[in-house]
Amino acid sequence: MFDNLSEKLDKALHNLKGHGKITEINVAETLKEVRRALLDADVNFKIAKEFTNTVKDKALGQNVLSTLQPGQLMVKIVKDELTQLMGGDAEGVDLSGNPSVILMSGLQGSGKTTFSGKLANFLKNKKTKKPLLVACDVYRPAAIDQLHVVGEQIGVEVYSDRGNTDPVVIAQAGIAHAKTLGCNVVIIDTAGRLAVDQEMMDEISNIHKAIQPQETLFVVDSMTGQDAVNTAKAFNDVLNFDGVILTKLDGDTRGGAAISIKSVVNKPIKFIGTGEKMEAIDVFYPSRMADRILGMGDVVSLVERAQEQFDEEQARKIQKKIAKNKFGFDDFLSQIQQIKKMGNMKDLMGMIPGMGKALKGIDIDDDAFKHIEAIIHSMTPDERANPNKLNSSRKKRIAAGSGRSVQDVNQLLKQFDQMSKMMKMMQGGGGKRMMQMMQNMR
């Protein structure tokens, strides 16, 4: 996520020379490189210039604390200004209606239909809502089929009327259907085009006027850069939408859309899509995104994702097994499943401070655990529960069954043994001893 922008900003900010004060002389070259990094990321030229001018005005003449280098102070100023540029505070969706109606808009291919499903899944699982998805793309039968598949996948009802070609009537009928089902949120997926045209604008405008939604969201492909900002402006002029959703942030995104869009349309980014799975949706926090752009990671989001997947009852069972020295590969497998549910592995690693730079150019497969899973699934239930029974002949059989080498099986057993010992030590008060050792090392 924003790898190139992060690298260029990091290089620019840490090249700042001088001590004691940030002066016009030592800041000029740095801000020139910052502006160039923003332009390379497809940030609007006017916004990039205004941004660097604001940073310069705030930085000039500030006394640098004795514990800080000028570059470190500049990083803080740039982070604060990036946060403001992207919206300042996180904003949620308006769910005050009964039912609350959310109208999705955007170009074809922006990920509108998929994100409608993600949003329904998010509201169902995290906001305890009962959503209904409504298919109003009357031009692409495949879009209706896709929404039904998504709805079945997440366990959400989908309303469609294949015999009707009027999206306004379908939207109104969908809301009426939601009331009969007792649904308290209606998400309406609309048609898109390959480019902005008057027919599409008239259609989405007519739907908007007819249903008066509590929330109108504009879905944009973040990989399109400055074009995304221009499209957002065109839609906002017609719909006056309430917020933006950025999709495909897990791809080769330059970052221009995320940084520019709030300034151009003066509407907040509300959600981001970070992968293909239905759980790959995050509330957009400008300060956390600024941290990630500047290579500081996002520990808060990482902890939140971990907490979402944390099963307290399962944790208690595992604690008892560790205490009795009965922690087996079935338990290990359940831990892997919880980690996988947290999302894209490279994205998760990028949330750890300093890891973004270290992972540059390294491709981390989303199926990074598949070889481990294959080895474990090739064991018998008895072997998974009692790893100490794995002799050389059993290891050969497991290696053959999983398509891996005996060396891979041995390596997994060694890692499993080390992890089991560490977990037991942590449970037995070793955690306190480790903390004391770390504090003594400072």
One-character DSSP codes across 152-190: HHHT-EEE--TT---HHHHHHHHHHHHHHHT-SEEEEEE
- The percentage of residues in the chain with a pLDDT greater than 70, rounded to a whole number, is 72
Q: Is 335 annotated as a binding residue?
A: no
What is the average per-residue pLDDT within 139-155?
A: 89
pLDDT tens across 35-70, in order? 888 887 777 788 888 888 888 887 776 655 544 566
Q: Is 403 annotated as a binding residue?
A: no
Domain 303-440 falls in which CATH fold?
Answer: 434 Repressor (Amino-terminal Domain) (1.10.260)
pLDDT reading at 312 higher than 70 = no
What is the average per-residue pLDDT within 171-196?
A: 87
Distance CA 344, CA 146 (A): 23
Give the pLDDT score at 439.
Answer: 44
Q: Is 404 annotated as a binding residue?
A: no
pLDDT band at 441 (very low <50, low <70, confident <90, very high): very low
Residues 6+ apart with CB under 8 A from 173: 159, 161, 164
Half-sphere exposure of 307 (CA within 13 A, CB side): 7
What is the average per-residue pLDDT within 174-200?
A: 86
Q: Is 237 annotated as a binding residue?
A: no
Q: Is 249 annotated as a binding residue?
A: yes
Q: Is 110 annotated as a binding residue?
A: yes
Which part of the chain has CATH 3.40.50.300? Answer: 100-296
pLDDT band at 131 (very low <50, low <70, confident <90, very high): very high
Inter-residue contact 121 to 147 (CB < 8 Å): no
Q: Is 247 annotated as a binding residue?
A: yes
Q: Is 250 annotated as a binding residue?
A: yes
Q: Which CATH class is domain 100-296?
A: alpha beta
pLDDT tens across 360-376, in order? 555 555 566 788 888 98
Which part of the chain has CATH 1.10.260.30? Answer: 303-440
Q: Is 366 annotated as a binding residue?
A: no
Distance CA 87, CA 76 (A): 17
Which part of the chain has CATH 1.20.120.140? Answer: 3-86
Give the pLDDT score at 132.
Answer: 93
Q: Is 111 annotated as a binding residue?
A: yes
Model-level pTM greater than 0.85?
no
Q: Is 76 annotated as a binding residue?
A: no
pLDDT tens across 372-396, in order? 888 988 999 888 888 888 899 999 9
What is the average per-residue pLDDT within 284-291?
A: 81
- 3-86 CATH: 1.20.120.140
